[in-house]
Amino acid sequence: MSLDREIKSKLYFIETWGCQMNEEDSEKLSGMLKTQGYTPTENRDEASIVIFNTCCVRENAENKVFGNLGMLKKQKEKNPDLIIALCGCMMQQKGMADEILKRFPYVDIIFGTHNSYKFPEYLHRVQTDGVQIKEIFDKEAEIVEGVPIDRKSSVKAFVTIMYGCNNFCTYCVVPFVRGRERSRKPEDIIKEIKELVAQGYKEVTLLGQNVNSYGKGLEEEISFADLLRRINEIDGLERIRFMTSHPKDLNIEVIHAIRDCDKLCEQIHLPVQSGSDAILKVMNRHYTKEYYLDLAKKIREEIPDVTFTTDIIVGFPGETEEDFLETIDLVKKVQYDSAFTFIYSRRNHTPADRMENQIPDDIKHDRFNRLVEVVNEGIVASNKAAEGKVYEVLVEGTSKNDETKLTGRTRNGKLVNFDGCKEMIGKLVNVKIVEAKSFSLVGEIIK
């Protein structure tokens, strides 16, 4: 094989859909491939391994995967050695892998969320035996430690602290595809973060579907607040963030930990989903609008600079105009710094899919557009209020087109762009906000 062909046969391309959990799984797949001598490429056409890490939380995420798989057919015909691998949440859905193999028989490897650590073995088997592999574990396996991770940023890193979810919100497939809650041992988490700090990382975001129930089932008795306080002790680490918090489980100990620990950032992702008590009840969320507003108020009293981000669904079965207006009212009261807004999407096997009072698409879209408008008004107002203030910013990188333009975030998560040099990447600088744009801030470094 010529050197050029050999290099090309070592190129891989990963496309990731969905949440930070999937992003982190892809970083692990990339880490495993790099340790085997493979090189990432941004150009799917020149890759010899194409991996799609899929999401099934909403229907449009699934449709994107089908569309992209269709497009790979020609590439496979041109290069029969191309290896196509599929993984992630979509594969964990009953019958999905078989449907895919029927529609797209040229897929080589299918694996699920619980066995992605076995990817190198599957790849080896396909390369040596030319077989097609479909292996999906139904149940969550033991947590596998020590998988190499190829992280995108050199300043901030995602660190998973727990897997799975026990909440069974009636619209959501996550508990079915990611399994029950399992927490990593605190010593494994701390070891990983210390290694990251030794490599120069300054910020970690602790990940889990419901981080506030961290620790259940571990031999050692430890709560999420305890874990936060322990991580806060790590020398050299500058910032700690975490997501996602379920409002019903975010307790006063965690609020106090954020207040007391210098590295814990004043930003909380607190998905509300709806502002209507009736809808929250059928969603199985276990809180009311009043409880949520009280919680936000309590947090603001303890942590004055705190910002909130959230997830909101419109068009859940049975949502009336009055229910929707309750959501709008809540959004106005909380004033989020950012919100992921979703149109309700019917998911197989979930209780909400079986509900009869589904909302027509045109009403869903109309509510979605009205909600986005109100969310954006809040973001613009919050950014405007930052003008003239000085914030500590962690420099994350330079702008793609101009190395003298830096970008970073304040402790409470606001995105700031400012002039500086690339030697500042990874450093904390004080930045005065000179202009609020709609979704970002323009600042100047204060000497």
Q: Please report how many Cα atoms fall inside a 13 Å half-sphere around the Cα of residue 195, on the Cβ side.
A: 11
Edge-to-edge strand ranges of the sheet holding 133-135: 39-40, 11-16, 49-54, 83-88, 109-111, 133-135
151 binds, among ligand SF4, ligand 5AD, none (CB under 5 to 8 A by kind): none
Q: According to the annotation, is 89 in a ligand binding site?
A: yes
The answer to whether residue 19 forms part of the interface with ligand SF4 (CB under 6 A) is no
Only segment of 164-172, 250-258, 259-267, 289-297 that touches ligand SF4 (CB under 6 A): 164-172
The amino acid that residue 21 corresponds to is M
Pick one of ligand 5AD, ligand SF4, none as the site partner of residue 175 (Cβ within 5 to 8 A by kind). Answer: ligand SF4
Q: Does 246 bind ligand SF4 (CB under 6 A)?
A: yes
**In contact, 29 and 14? CB cutoff 8 Å:** yes
Alpha-carbon distance of 96 to 311, in angstroms, equals 27
Q: Which does 338 bind (CB under 5 to 8 A by kind): ligand SF4, ligand 5AD, none?
A: none
Is residue 414 within 8 Å of residue 307, measured between CB atoms?
Answer: yes
> For residues 89-108, which are near ligand 5AD according to CB under 6 A?
none
Q: Which one of residues 210, 307, 345, 382 is an interface residue with ligand SF4 (CB under 6 A)?
A: 210
**Can residue 110 be called a binding residue for ligand SF4 (CB under 6 A)?**
no
Q: Is 280 a binder of ligand 5AD (CB under 6 A)?
A: no
Q: Which is nearer to ligand SF4, 174 or 375 (CB)?
A: 174
Spatial separation of the C-alpha atoms in residues 55 and 87, rounded to whole Å: 9
Known binding residue 421? Answer is no
C-beta of residue 265 within 8 angstroms of C-beta of residue 411: yes
Q: Which residue of 123, 174, 211, 343 would you call a contact of ligand SF4, by CB under 6 A?
A: 174
432 close to 390: Cβ distance less than 8 angstroms? yes
Q: Which one of ligand SF4, ligand 5AD, none is in contact with 313 (Cβ closer than 5 to 8 A by kind)?
A: ligand 5AD
Helices and strands per DSSP (H, E), number in the chain: 13, 19
Determine the interface stretch with ligand 5AD among 129-137, 292-300, 340-348, 423-431 (rule: CB under 6 A): 340-348
Known binding residue 56? Answer is no
Q: Report d(CA 351, CA 180) in Å as an integer.
A: 18
Work out how close the CB of 441 gets to ligand 5AD at its nearest, in angstroms, rounded to a whole number: 26
Closest among 287, 288, 292, 280 to 352, alpha carbons compared: 280
**Does residue 92 interact with ligand SF4 by CB under 6 A?**
no
Report the nearest approach of ligand SF4 to the CB of residue 26 (Å). 19
Pick out residues in 49-68 that bind ligand 5AD (CB under 6 A).
57-58
Q: How many CA atoms lie within 13 A of 445 on its CB side?
A: 16
209 binds, among ligand 5AD, ligand SF4, none (CB under 5 to 8 A by kind): ligand SF4
Candidate residues 167, 350, 382, 412; the one interacting with ligand SF4 per rule CB under 6 A: 167
344 binds, among ligand SF4, ligand 5AD, none (CB under 5 to 8 A by kind): ligand 5AD
Q: Does 122 bind ligand 5AD (CB under 6 A)?
A: no
The span from the CA of 413 to the CA of 440, in Å, is 10
User: DSSP string covering 118-148, please?
Assistant: GHHHHHHHHHHH---EEE--SS--PPPP---
Is 344 a binder of ligand 5AD (CB under 6 A)?
yes
| The one among 16, 41, 92, 209 contacting ligand SF4 by CB under 6 A | 209
Contact 34, 150 (CB under 8 A): yes
**Beta-strand runs (E) in 107-246:** 109-111, 133-135, 156-160, 162-163, 182-183, 203-207, 239-243
Burial 263-299 (b: 16+ CB within 10 A, else e): bbbbbbbbbbbbbbeebbebbebebbbeebbebbeeb
Element holding 14 (H helix, E strand): strand 11-16
The DSSP secondary structure of 364-424, one letter per residue, reads: HHHHHHHHHHHHHHHHHHHHHTTTT-EEEEEEEEE-SS-TTEEEEEETT--EEEEE--GGG
- Contacted by 342, from ligand SF4, ligand 5AD, none: CB < 5 to 8 Å by type: ligand 5AD
CA distance linking residue 136 with residue 119, whole number of Å: 12
Q: From the list ligand SF4, ligand 5AD, none, which binds 58 (C-beta under 5 to 8 Å, kind-based)? A: ligand 5AD
Structure tokens given for 362: 């045109």
User: Is 165 annotated as a binding-site member?
Assistant: yes
Question: Residue 246's binding partner, choosing from ligand SF4, ligand 5AD, none, with beta-carbon cut-off 5 to 8 A by kind?
Answer: ligand SF4
Q: For residues 274 and 412, which CB has a smaller minimum distance to ligand 5AD in the complex?
A: 274
**Would you give the distance in Å from CA 90 to the centre of its chain?**
16
Quick check: 169 binds ligand SF4 (CB under 6 A)? yes
Binding mask 144-183 for ligand 5AD (x = CB under 6 A): ---------------------------xx-----------
Residue ranges in contact with ligand SF4 by CB under 6 A: 165, 167-169, 172, 174-175, 209-210, 246
Give the binding site for ligand 5AD (CB under 6 A): 19, 57-58, 171-172, 271, 273, 311, 313, 342, 344-345, 347
